[in-house]
Amino acid sequence: MSKTTRVRFAPSPTGFLHIGGARTALFNWLFAKATGGKFLLRIEDTDTERSEERFTKDIFESLQWLGLHWDEEPVYQSARFDRYQSIAAGLMAKGEAYRCRCTSAELDAIRAECTKQKRPFRYPGTCREKGITDPGAVIRVRVPRTGETGFTDLIRGPISFKNQDLDDWVILRGNQSPTYNFSVVVDDHDLAITHVLRGEDHINNTPKQILLYRTLGYEVPEFAHLPMILGPDRSKLSKRHGAASTLEYRGMGFLPIALINFLARLGWSHGDQEIFTLNELQAAFSLEHIGKANAVFGIDKLNWMGGKMMELVPQGELFDYLGRYFSVETQFLKDYPKPTVEAGIGIIQGKVKNVLDLIEQLGCLFGEDPVFNRAALKEAEVPSVKEILEGAVAELEGSDFSKGDLESRLRAYAAKKQIKLTPVAQAVRFGVTGGKVSPGLFEMLELQGKERVLRRIALAVEALKS
């Protein structure tokens, strides 16, 4: 039996957690769940210039909102500089690394020359044999000039690079802080990570890291590089493509399970199945069914998924969710008993695509009386709507306001007037909501209750008088 799998999500707090990062986190989390392993979180804040506290908070909050809970205390790289420095010192002592005093101006000159010769920039090894001891100089690791370094990607199969295309890269900066490729190796080893699942943009970093694992005598973990998520223009997802941060989707009213389903199906598949519960996802997830090709983020399908989930999530959960994340927006529900609000959610949830729409509809049911405006109707409709409403009042006054009774009365009323139910229903709908769209009429009326309905109709009639 192989050892327990340990995976990690390792974002850098230099920006909000974007949707691509969220999916990387999700896949790691699912992989951990599917294999009975651990999911860890590591904050890669070695770049003290660009890292910000608020971004770390955003990452935590995004993952918590999605329900991707991590199993151990988060690790901050900024708290481990001593560790990286001592590993670097060990490398120096073994002659595997050396100090370099090339200035950025010198490096830029080389870079410019390379560009001119249409070659990629590679550090030429200027300081390799100089034996520099200046403690403020950067430290570079020695990379073999010949041979190749390869690995078997769990998603893509064998990938290999010629060592001559690599170079002696910097592991410790002038201020003795570690660079990404260095701290990743040390941390993944220290955390006993068994599988590294990350974006495809890291494939090129992998050989450098593997070489370092070997010179450090560390066991090399398995790697799986996920395809990227692209914007509608097929370029890397960025702010230009609308929502940049994961939490913005919460603000747009998407349920976390909707985003999770959508993200899971972006690059991964399970036959023809589109809708999954969290448990189903955890059980079905496997690396073999992750595709290799990049995927375009299409909001249409997310919207559809959003609607599906609004329908599937139980009323009680939606009620709690509103209280948790939209308490300000749903202040107007405060005085209603939970069962009443849940009943309201029940008649709306199948018709809306997201939480924002749900709140709006709940507002029609439980909020303040709408502002009735005759401009909401075609001018030609006004007289008949007004007349139907005036007549309907008498019918409704005698009702016990159960939806069955309401329906039979309004149908009878329409029959008496020798018109179809449609105009009656539309008139009453306007009279109660001020608009033309609502949940099912009779159940809505029942939920509103007699007093409120009659009051609103009176207001509507008043508004229609010219």
Partner RNA sequence: GUCCCCAUAGUCUAGAGGCCUAGGACAACUCCCUUUCACGGAGUAGACACGGGUUCGAAUCCCGUUGGGGACACCA
Residues 154-173 contacting RNA, CB under 7 A = 156-157, 159-162, 165, 169-170, 173
Q: What is the CA radius of gyration of the chain?
A: 31
In the region spanning residues 248 to 267, those forming contacts with RNA, defined by CB under 7 A, are 265-267
86 burial (CB, 10 Å; 0-12 / 13-18 / 19+) is: exposed
Shortest Cβ distance from residue 11 to RNA (Å)? Answer: 7
Q: Which of 215, 346, 426, 455 binds RNA (CB under 7 A)?
A: 426
Q: Considering the rule CB under 7 A, would residue 28 count as an interface residue with RNA? A: no
The CA distance from 362 to 349, in Å, is 10
Q: Considering the rule CB under 7 A, would residue 324 count as an interface residue with RNA? A: no
Shortest Cβ distance from residue 328 to RNA (Å)? Answer: 26
Shortest Cβ distance from residue 202 to RNA (Å)? Answer: 6
Closest CA to 172 of 91, 106, 110: 91
The CA distance from 148 to 417, in Å, is 88
Q: Which is nearer to RNA, 48 or 331 (CB)?
A: 48
Q: Tokens at residue 396, please?
A: 């409704």
Q: At which residue do the structure tokens 């079905």 appear?
A: 284
Total residue length of the chain: 466
Q: Which is nearer to RNA, 414 or 463 (CB)?
A: 414
Q: Is 381 helix (H, G, I), strand (E, B) or coil?
A: helix
Q: Considering the rule CB under 7 A, would residue 204 count as an interface residue with RNA? A: yes
With beta carbons less than 8 A apart as the criterion, state whether 88 and 139 touch.
Answer: yes
In the region spanning residues 81 to 110, those forming contacts with RNA, defined by CB under 7 A, are 102-104, 107
In the region spanning residues 288 to 307, those forming contacts with RNA, defined by CB under 7 A, are 288-289, 291-296, 298, 300-301, 303-304, 307
How many chain residues are in contact with RNA, going by CB under 7 A?
Answer: 87
Q: Which of 203, 312, 454, 458 binds RNA (CB under 7 A)?
A: 203
Q: Considering the rule CB under 7 A, would residue 205 count as an interface residue with RNA? A: yes
Does 239 participate in catalysis according to the annotation?
yes
What DSSP element (H or E) covers 216?
A: helix 206-216
Q: Which of 37, 227, 306, 344 binds RNA (CB under 7 A)?
A: 227
Name residue 133's amino acid: T
79 Cβ neighbours under 8 A, 6+ residues apart: none
Q: Considering the rule CB under 7 A, would residue 440 count as an interface residue with RNA? A: yes
Q: Which of 61, 200, 329, 390 binds RNA (CB under 7 A)?
A: 200
Binding mask 61-80 for RNA (x = CB under 7 A): --------------------
Of 22-30, 111-119, 186-194, 389-397: span binding RNA (CB under 7 A): 111-119
Centre a 10 Å sphere on the Cβ of residue 466 and count the other Cβ atoms it contains: 6
The CA distance from 19 to 298, in Å, is 12
> What's the Cα-to-Cα distance from 281 to each of 25, 90, 148, 275, rounded to whole Å?
14, 44, 38, 9
Give the distance, in angstroms, between the CA of residue 69 and the centroid of all CA atoms in the same chain: 14
In the region spanning residues 375 to 404, those forming contacts with RNA, defined by CB under 7 A, are none
Q: Considering the rule CB under 7 A, would residue 425 count as an interface residue with RNA? A: yes
Q: Which is nearer to RNA, 173 or 452 (CB)?
A: 173
Which member of 57, 94, 130, 239 is catalytic? 239
Q: Considering the rule CB under 7 A, would residue 349 count as an interface residue with RNA? A: no
> What DSSP string describes 27-57?
HHHHHHHHHT-EEEEEE----TTT--HHHHH
Active site residues: 239
